Structure 1
Amino acid sequence: MMTGPLVMAAIWTFRPVAAFVAPGTSVHYRRAYQRLWMASSSSATISVDNNVSRMSVLQTLLSKHGAPGSRQCDQPNDLVPVTSLHETPELVSSMTGPDEQLSNLHPYLFPIAKSTSSGNYICAYRNPFTEESDINHPWPIVEAQIGGPGMRLLALNSEHLMRRIACECDTDGSDASRTLVTLYNQDLGKGDLASALDAPYQAGAVEQLGYGVDKYVLLRVGPFPDLYQTMARQHAEKGDEQSSLIAAEAANGKLAGFGSTFRFYARLLASFPNRHEESRDAARMCLRLPLTTIGMSMDDFREVAVLGQLAEEQDSLKDTIAKLNDMYEKLRMAEQEEDGSKTPEQAAIDEASYLMDQTALSGARWSEIRPKLGTIFRSIDRVDMAKFVDLYSDK
């Protein structure tokens, strides 16, 4: 039986999809990228600026400070802006590599910056099944790898991530950090953003609250998965099981739609006595969400299979993924029987989701499924999404 938080998650379950277009060395590739980046939101292609606000400020903050919560992109002076290079495409190849390589980044991600040390990308994750011209539908910010099976969630939107960086800079106290806080406040307070995101950050606010930067960010900025996980672990180390689980459950609710929060929740439950059935249910909840949101590596998928009691620790990765896929197919078949008939749009969404999930599990190249995804989106008149995922198509 699923616990309360898992039931809530089942209600919130959806399969978000997003898109990526990146620059490359070929003229055809660059033109496709420029078209998507610069097009007006009134056209079939949605402007990235509508959903990743203040892109140039975000890229500067990431470059100077690093991406908080990331696995290999958190160091200062390591990240190099990607999307700003649409005006100087001749520089792209030296930074990103050939088109063929970059097209193997997750198809639903829009690259923002690239780590020069690890090669990982900070990206925006797009859900084409929302009204994206609405300012209330920003794209989450994630970390990903070329050819990786999934992503690591960093923040629900660019403004949350930038304000967190401003808070961390404020506690640093250096002249360089104060300059970044000033940069962050640039253009805020003009009514261009939702009111909750539009107020300039007041220097000294973290110290004034008195709880430290992590708690300030969770209380006054927004939800961040790594901070909830840190809080949960701290409570667990103190022997406070209830508070630990509450922190993890808060992440499940506030960051709905991402399997990675349930993967952590399952791991946490498994660390407590008499919680193994709940841990199993939490891990299996990941299979009801987009599989690419489980994590960045196949080890993350392996962890879901083991915690979900579908595989053993000693199983090979191949056998583990096969067992994970067996349960995935059973759950999918049960959902199809429950759903009954579908509209063409619903059928297309399911087809795209299934194609993405199977590619993640099989380790196939993302570049190989882009044309198919484009065909699916065109079948329901989502030409904007077709152009995002099928980079070389002019249709």
Structure 2
Amino acid sequence: MKMGVMGAIHRAPCAAALPLRHVRARPIRCSSSSGHVSFIRDIAVANPPEHLDELLKVLRTRGDTIVSPGSRQGIIPLAIPLSENSSGAVTALLRWPTAPSGMEMPVVEVRKHGVWLLGKNVDQYIHRLLVEEDAHHLEENNSELYDASSEAGKKLYQRGDFAESNITNLDSYLLSKVGLFPDVLEHKVTQHFEQGDHVSALVTGEFYAKKDLFPGFGRPFVFNAEIMLKVGRISEAKDSARVALKSPWWTLGCAYESPALHNGRMSK
């Protein structure tokens, strides 16, 4: 079987591994998608996403610097960097050791404690970016991002659909029309707590932690453990933490020493 440079790291590190030292990736500029396509095909030994070029154009249009896939300092070996924004946040593709169904090459943001899921695939993330751009500029006729997405964008989203949908809440539109996203679901839970609706918060948190929603990621279980601790349900918090600790450390979305995970470690 053909194996590229990334083949040496096709075994996922366990949750107990030490977090990477957070080092800002050096933004080596890359003017086209050809370098990323060849890297994914020849080094990562995977099929490049069909609309990778459109995603790179969208990222560049929103102000990111496109970086070389070889610009890997401070990034976990499984991440293939795409761009870096003005704050230093790196958007990347995740090359799984063994990809879960429906998550062959998700889009992630590289963070201090691993990666954060931005979209289950390139198309879903492009769709989300176009919706958010449309929602945030309802009174403007700015089509730069939409134009950058080319034919892929036209297939994924029709400009003005957010306004015409009569769904006034962006989170609700994303969840119903685009897909499920960890940050959106966590925001919904936080809003429920702020409104004093603990039942809805718990139901949403339990839904978020369903194993088939974000396969391979431990973050939903960490967050659910945090919710259970918040409402004093210690036993259920331990159960959720134990599930989280079975996931790779770089999918937890927090430090391994997080209080939410402490109970899970102590109850092993």
TM-score between both structures, scaled by the size of structure 2: 0.74
2: CA distance between counterparts of 1:54 and 1:111? 16
2: CA distance between counterparts of 1:60 and 1:248? 35
- 2:118 matched to which residue of 1? 154
- 2:228 matched to which residue of 1? 269
Deviations 1:346-386 (A, max 9, x none): xxxxxxxxxxxxxxxxxxxxxxxxxxxxxxxxxxxxxxxxx
- 1:82 matched to which residue of 2? 67
Deviations 1:97-116 (A, max 9, x none): xxxxx344201111111234
- 2:110 matched to which residue of 1? 144
SS of residue matched to 2:157: coil
Deviations 1:61-88 (A, max 9, x none): 23443xxxxxxxxxxx2x21114xx7xx
Q: Percent identity?
A: 24
Contiguous gaps of at least 5 residues in structure 1: 1-14, 26-33, 66-76, 87-91, 97-101, 190-197, 311-326, 331-395
The 5 Å alignment of 1:182-261 reads 182-184=147-149, 186-188=150-152, 199-211=155-167, 212-253=169-210, 254-261=213-220
Q: Which has the higher helix share?
A: 1
- 2:249 aligned residue (281, 291, 295): 291
Change in Cα spacing, 1:17 to 1:160, as seen in structure 2 (3 Å) is farther
Change in Cα spacing, 1:223 to 1:17, as seen in structure 2 (3 Å) is farther
- 1:112 matched to which residue of 2? 82
Change in Cα spacing, 1:301 to 1:294, as seen in structure 2 (3 Å) is farther
- 2:3 matched to which residue of 1? none
- 1:374 matched to which residue of 2? none
1:220 maps to a residue whose letter is K
1:56 maps to a residue whose letter is D
1: CA distance between counterparts of 2:27 and 2:89? 17
Contiguous gaps of at least 5 residues in structure 2: 1-9, 14-24, 29-33
Deviations 1:220-259 (A, max 9, x none): 1111001001111112222322321222222222113211
1:219 maps to a residue whose letter is S
**What do you get for the CA RMSD once the two structures are aligned?**
3.5
Deviating runs (4+, > 4 A) in structure 1? 15-18, 22-25, 34-37
1:232 maps to a residue whose letter is V
2: CA distance between counterparts of 1:162 and 1:238? 32
TM-aligned CA deviation for residue 158 of structure 1:
1.5
SS of residue matched to 1:270: helix
Change in Cα spacing, 1:137 to 1:209, as seen in structure 2 (3 Å) is same
- 2:146 matched to which residue of 1? 181
Q: Does 1:305 align with 2:264?
A: no
Deviations 1:113-140 (A, max 9, x none): 12343x33111111232499xxx65311
Change in Cα spacing, 1:187 to 1:17, as seen in structure 2 (3 Å) is farther
Change in Cα spacing, 1:47 to 1:284, as seen in structure 2 (3 Å) is closer
Structure showing greater Rg: 1
2: CA distance between counterparts of 1:153 and 1:24? 21
2: CA distance between counterparts of 1:131 and 1:307? 28
2: CA distance between counterparts of 1:305 and 1:45? 32
SS of residue matched to 1:175: coil
SS of residue matched to 1:58: helix
2: CA distance between counterparts of 1:126 and 1:284? 25
SS of residue matched to 1:236: helix
Aligned length: 239
TM-aligned CA deviation for residue 164 of structure 1:
0.8
Tell whether the 8 Å contact from 1:269 to 1:279 is kept in structure 2 after alignment: yes
1:210 maps to a residue whose letter is N
Tell whether the 8 Å contact from 1:294 to 1:301 is kept in structure 2 after alignment: no
TM-score between both structures, scaled by the size of structure 1: 0.52
TM-aligned CA deviation for residue 17 of structure 1:
4.6
Deviations 1:29-55 (A, max 9, x none): xxxxx99842795x79635523xx422
Tell whether the 8 Å contact from 1:38 to 1:47 is kept in structure 2 after alignment: no
- 1:56 aligned residue (48, 53, 56): 53
